[in-house]
Amino acid sequence: MTSPSLSNLVRQPVLFGFDNSYARLPERFYSRTNPVPVAAPRLIKINVELAHKLGLNPEALASAEGIEILSGNQVATGSEPIALAYAGHQFGHFVPQLGDGRANLLGEVVGCDASRYDIQLKGSGPTPFSRRGDGRAALGPVLREYIVSEAMHSLGVPTTRALAAVTTGEEVFRESVLPGAVLTRVAASHLRVGTFQYFAARNDVEGLQILADYAIGRHYPEAAQAKQPYQTLLKSVVGRQARLIAQWTLLGFIHGVMNTDNSSIFGETIDYGPCAFMEAYDPDKVFSSIDRQGRYSYSNQPHAAHWNLTRLAEALLPILEQEAGSQEAALASAYEALETFATQYETTRLTGLRHKLGLFTEQEGDEALAQDLLDRMAANRADFTLTFRRLCDAAAQPHGDAGVRNLFADPAAFDAWAAGWRRRLEAEPLSGEARTAAMRLANPAFIPRNHVVEAALDAAIERQDFQPFEELLSVTSHPYEDRPHLERYATPARPEESVTQTFCGT
């Protein structure tokens, strides 16, 4: 649904059916702030499938009233806009107050799956947390978040999602003058590691406890029955984050800004800034222009996540102490929870790697086999996504090797590995078509490749042409299906198209 003319035809009231549990928490958790109206909103996109999942009417969202709401010009019935308070470690430096400086939580809805979702406007104007920022978002980053978050969802990775995007008819001033836009983001919640740090930094133990109880009630209700609910909360977050980061690495995804304020308590991928999928496999890969030390490089991501979770554990210490009985016991409790990260991460990663190689049983040498392939890919600059996708064909028949070996600077490096792989495959009960089909579900054909994303953003920004954005969305919404006529979306950038750096653009 992209036709703005629809908005004139349809007269359906926009009914969100908000139930705003966060706005019922104490006032110090947020600031009650309305979105700041914009000059001339225009609809770019409504996510019809997501609207239905949330029990919302996509036609109503695309109506004149809907666009007013999605741009922040009108406050929807039942909405209680708030900007959330949080702190965070940014590249290792603690900032005791960050908060939603350019976002408003409109409210929460309970979707058709009985789960609760936050509906947030991002880029909706200054709030008391804006510091020196203008509270706005540029069109490019809004479209990038739309594309990449929806792609992640389709790839099966926990993530916030995009319900809508509108342009504002206003300019934002970054390094250049850019069109402004507002994204409607949907999240299981906007609770971050930094939210806990906000209260811990203020020695507000009561606030911490209220927040922890809220997080348990909303995301981990089983923890309430546990002997140590707060340790169980911590363990649950550790588990979700560990599995999330493993999923990222299995897809070659680099988040780029894994600060504690961008680390979700529910374990969703959140705050898409200078994120990117790598093409040529390089474990040290960094895209973000601001990440000069490689703190958030591809292979540092599990360490970064563990570091963030350690900050969460520290923030929770006062209430872990209440439940454990002493400071020593609280520390032991925190360590015990943090220690579960490694196993959860490694297990998810190894299972995922096995599936990527077509191995659905377990053998001792599987990890070494996978690592050997990755090492050879790195040495030969092989495209991460395409190597694994073409491996599906190679698994089906030996003459399928041509496609994958060609991706290696020295194709013989693949051949030497493939011989051992074939021997290992002989021990698998699943073979032929069934194996190839199963492998295809572990190895996407389509990820949002950076040069294609950039081209889609450029067309929208420079020519108000949203067709490339639409086409890219449609391709990446079915990442595991072969679509021969869309081959150009599945192949790496030519050298002159290659994107080597990404920018926050905030």
98 binds ligand AMP (CB under 6 A): yes
What is the rounded distance in angstroms from the CA atom of residue 146 to the CA atom of residue 427? Answer: 42
Residues in contact with Mg ion by the rule CB under 5 A: 261-262, 271
With CB under 5 to 8 Å by kind, the binding choice for 214 among ligand AMP, Mg ion, none is: none
E strand intervals along 134-175: 137-138, 161-173
163 binds ligand AMP (CB under 6 A): no
With CB under 5 to 8 Å by kind, the binding choice for 346 among Mg ion, ligand AMP, none is: none
Q: Which is nearer to Mg ion, 193 or 334 (CB)?
A: 193
Q: Which is nearer to ligand AMP, 180 or 267 (CB)?
A: 180
What is the rounded distance in angstroms from the CA atom of residue 263 to the CA atom of residue 461? Answer: 30
- State the Cα torsion 358-362-364-367 to the nearest 10°: 40
Q: Which is nearer to ligand AMP, 102 or 218 (CB)?
A: 102
Candidates 66, 72, 101, 158: give the one binding ligand AMP (CB under 6 A).
101
Structural tokens at position 54: 């949330």
Report angle CA 310, 311, 316 to the nearest 5 degrees.
Answer: 95
Active site residue 261: yes
41 binds ligand AMP (CB under 6 A): no
- State the Cα torsion 124-71-268-132 to the nearest 10°: -10
273 binds ligand AMP (CB under 6 A): yes
96 binds ligand AMP (CB under 6 A): no
Exposure string (b/e) for 354-376, b if CB count within 10 Å is 16 or more?
bbbbbbbeeeeebeebbeebeeb
Task: Give the contacts of 196 (CB within 8 A, at least 6 positions apart).
Answer: 208, 211, 212, 265, 312, 315, 316
Q: Which is nearer to ligand AMP, 30 or 421 (CB)?
A: 30
Closest CA to 257 of 280, 217, 288: 288
Q: Which is nearer to ligand AMP, 98 or 193 (CB)?
A: 98
Structural tokens at position 131: 């510091």
Q: How far is the CB of 37 from ligand AMP (least distance, A)?
A: 16
Q: Which of 100, 261, 271, 393 is catalytic?
A: 261
Candidates 14, 57, 80, 102: give the one binding ligand AMP (CB under 6 A).
102
Using alpha carbons only, how large is the chain's radius of gyration in Å?
23
With CB under 5 to 8 Å by kind, the binding choice for 369 among Mg ion, ligand AMP, none is: none
| Site size with ligand AMP, rule: CB under 6 A | 18
With CB under 5 to 8 Å by kind, the binding choice for 134 among Mg ion, ligand AMP, none is: ligand AMP
Q: How far is the CB of 358 from ligand AMP (least distance, A)?
A: 38
Sign of CA dihedral 415, 500, 145, 9: negative
- State the Cα torsion 446-451-457-461 to the nearest 10°: -160
Candidates 13, 92, 96, 133: give the one binding ligand AMP (CB under 6 A).
133
Tell me which residues touch ligand AMP (CB under 6 A): 98-102, 129-130, 133-136, 257, 261-262, 271, 273, 504, 506
- Would you name the residues annotated as active-site residues? 261
